[in-house]
Amino acid sequence: MTTIRGWCPGALRPMAGGDGLILRIRPHAGRLSVAQAQGIADLAAQHGNGWIDLGSRASLQLRGIAADGLPQVHARLSALGLLDPDETSEARRNILTTPVWDGPETPALVAALETALAAAPPLPPKFGFAVDTGPWAVLGGASADIRIERGTDGLILRADGMERGEAVTPASAAHRAVGLAHWFAARRGAETRMAPLIASGATPPRAATLPPLTGPAPQPGPTAQGLCLALPFGQMAADTLHMLAVAPLRLTPWRSVIVEGVAQLPAHPGLIADPADPRLRVVACTGAPGCAAASVATRALALRLAPLVPPGGLLHVSGCAKGCAHPRAAPLTLTGRAGRFDLIRGGTAADPPGATDLAADTLPQLIRGHLAPRL
């Protein structure tokens, strides 16, 4: 086991956090069986801080794991079928799966891709794949470099950054995806992601003539695959996960889960079933005291400010300039610095602020009085 500081922790390669180790778990095909969900809830309660985080790549994080409890956690994850054989396999299995699949095709494609990745070249840590083969593609806005998608007439393989992809079949898709990874690796130079390489003028080797068939991503509420429930800040308590484990769970990259085949569950304060819930208009990282890099508490503030954010707006409250919870630009960002906040409009947490050194208790008035109409 290697303990590292930095990005991309895994289950076998935890990251040091402010309150213990952080383990990231990538369920196969983004789906948890009932037993796996219960097992992860138990691990969070018994070895972690009692919470489970769902990330923007539909992976789960356990935080606050003590180093001496790690062997037990690994043994349980292994028994649940959630531990890769080694760090290399774990790092390579960077696959985002659509949560809106029906039938056996999508899980079979993911399994084939997992197998085919054994022949993949070394790839940069964040380089990843998307299997977006539901009735239509929904993951276009989520981070991935090589995408297997639904086209109008069968499957396509698309390099991120290209508008169109090449035709593939269920039998050829995984092999071709790895072929495209080799093409990237041979040309990338210092580039770490596919889209900038494409933007620089590189063109994938096979004719890319077919656009993906795109459609809406699932919103909180009933869906064709089951009940979709968003998690405030992408976080749920172990008890909440136990409550959800009445059926297999599909994890989404939008910090929500779909409870497969279930139409209704009792209302729960830790779950969002209404797409108009103001908590969906704020994102916030762990902040203080959970993250050692933070000088401010983030989530309590974000909850206070959420009702002031107009529908369609987004407020990002970040504990520091790293912007973990929302690496992209947001209409409005509050970045913690030395116990106070900088305010950035239309940028990331690291962009130059328009106002600095703001006290937390002045922010509601600032947002209510001046900022909300322009969010």
Residues that bind ligand SF4 (CB under 6 A): 285-287, 291, 293-294, 318-320, 322-324
For the CB of residue 129, give the shortest distance to ligand SF4 in the complex, in Å: 25
For the CB of residue 365, give the shortest distance to ligand SF4 in the complex, in Å: 24
Name which of 222 and 327 has its Cβ closer to ligand SF4.
Answer: 327
354, 291, 343: which is closest to 317 by C-alpha? 343
CA gap 276, 230 in Å, rounded: 11
At position 16, the amino acid (one-letter code) is: A
Helical H runs in 80-208?
A: 87-92, 105-116, 173-187, 194-199
CA gap 8, 344 in Å, rounded: 26
For the CB of residue 291, give the shortest distance to ligand SF4 in the complex, in Å: 3
The count of other CB atoms within 10 Å of the CB of residue 366 is 18
CA gap 191, 199 in Å, rounded: 11
Name which of 274 and 357 has its Cβ closer to ligand SF4.
Answer: 357
Beta bridge partners of 163: none
Classify 256 as helix, strand or coil.
Answer: strand
Name which of 280 and 291 has its Cβ closer to ligand SF4.
Answer: 291
Classify 258 as helix, strand or coil.
Answer: strand
Burial 277-294 (b: 16+ CB within 10 A, else e): ebbbbbbbbbbbebbebb
Q: Find how far residue 21's CA is from the centre of its chain.
A: 19
Name which of 80 and 285 has its Cβ closer to ligand SF4.
Answer: 285
229, 241, 248, 183: which is closest to 34 by C-alpha? 248
CA gap 80, 231 in Å, rounded: 23
CA gap 137, 298 in Å, rounded: 33
Name which of 13 and 182 has its Cβ closer to ligand SF4.
Answer: 13
Name which of 240 and 286 has its Cβ closer to ligand SF4.
Answer: 286
Name which of 16 and 246 has its Cβ closer to ligand SF4.
Answer: 16
For the CB of residue 346, give the shortest distance to ligand SF4 in the complex, in Å: 19
Name which of 80 and 324 has its Cβ closer to ligand SF4.
Answer: 324
For the CB of residue 44, give the shortest distance to ligand SF4 in the complex, in Å: 18
Residue nearest ligand SF4 (C-beta atom)? 319
The phi and psi torsions of 7 (rounded to 5 degrees) equal -85, 170
The phi and psi torsions of 151 (rounded to 5 degrees) equal -105, 180
* Contact between 327 and 348 (Cβ < 8 Å): yes
For the CB of residue 349, give the shortest distance to ligand SF4 in the complex, in Å: 7
Residue 358: CA atoms inside 13 Å, Cβ hemisphere, count? Answer: 22
Name which of 7 and 67 has its Cβ closer to ligand SF4.
Answer: 7
